[in-house]
A and B are shown apart, each in its own frame.
Chain A
Amino acid sequence: MSKNDRNLDKRQQKQRKADVEARKQKRLPWIFGAIVVLIALVVGGSFLSDSFDNTKTTTTNLYSKEISLQSLHDKNAAKDDFYAYYYQPSCEHCKVVSPYLIPMAEQMSKPLFPVNIEGKHDAWTEYKVQGTPTLIHFKDGKEVERIDGQRDPSVYSEFFTNAK
């Protein structure tokens, strides 16, 4: 192998090394970006997991006295004096009202039972529910009075206090 060939070989090796380095350099932003996205996903996932558990606990506790439509019929058939709170899990107004209405009823010793009517068209028609939340006072198997929509806590408090 002549000196010229050796030099050429060295130059080619050097060029190949430079190419590999350049490719590595080109990959760096991708690797860095992927790591950042991965970290963000892990952190975000952890927050969402906490949020999921907290909401689940709150919802389960809040609606622990929930009754089915059949139980509601049974209560009316038995002519019980009670309050049916019609709500939907996806209803934004219910998310505001439930946290103060349900504990308030408990404090005032009012028998309030949440009824989930999400997707239950028959219930909407049968009880003439225009929207959620709706609070209906039943007595002797009949509706006595009701409150439609989101109201201030004072309105519900008055409703319970002045119950017929």
Chain B
Amino acid sequence: MTDSVTPRSTVNSSPTPSRSLLYWVTIAIRLVLGAVFLYSAVTKIADVYSFGLVLQSYDLLPDPMIKPLAILLPLVELVLGAAVLFKPTARYASLGIGLISLLFTFVMISKWGVVMPYGCGCFGPTEATPVGIVDVGKDVLLVIGAGLVLFRR
């Protein structure tokens, strides 16, 4: 019986404390990323037309692209938010989350200081506020979180 247990599996079954901590940190990050993206998707899906207005307020896209993007973006967020919660798909999802969050970061930086009529629109329309460090910081944190999940060995 003992012959069937390889030395490698014995080592893996008792992880070092630091490795164990990293494991739990990664799980926590995945949960946070999943929760943020699922919440973000649900708020946009609940009022997809208002999200279209948010996209329009950024004045970065031609009008014919507003509706398709207002529909596609929340659905992509929904899929990524769900996928990052499951281990087999977590790394692919974190790549997607990282890329989307990076895109959002650049968009936010391009609108730095501008008063957006619906706020940043990250979780649907809100009060009119100028884009600042909080909006950019949120996206940067998401990029870092996604990077940690993606590059964890």
Contact = CB atoms under 8 A, between A and B. Distances in A.
Interface of A: 37, 41, 44-45, 48-49, 51-52, 55-56, 59, 89-90, 118-119, 121
B52 A52 contact: yes
29 contacts: A37-B79, A41-B75, A44-B45, A44-B75, A45-B71, A45-B72, A48-B45, A48-B48, A48-B74, A49-B67, A49-B71, A51-B48, A51-B49, A52-B67, A52-B70, A52-B71, A55-B47, A89-B118, A90-B118, A90-B124, A90-B125, A118-B117, A118-B118, A118-B128, A119-B115, A119-B116, A119-B118, A119-B128, A121-B115
A90 B75 contact: no
Given A118-B117, A119-B117, A41 B79 contact: yes
A45 B70 contact: no
Interface in B44-58: 45, 47-50, 52-53
Given A49-B71, A119-B117, A90 B126 contact: yes
A52 B71 CA distance: 8
A90 B47 CA distance: 9
Contact of B49 (A37, A45, A55, A118): A55
A45 B45 CA distance: 10
Contacts of A37: 79
Contacts of A119: 115-118, 128
Given A48-B71, A118-B128, A89 B50 contact: yes
A44 B79 CA distance: 12
A37 B115 CA distance: 37
A26 to B, nearest CB: 11
A59 B118 contact: no
A48 B45 CA distance: 7
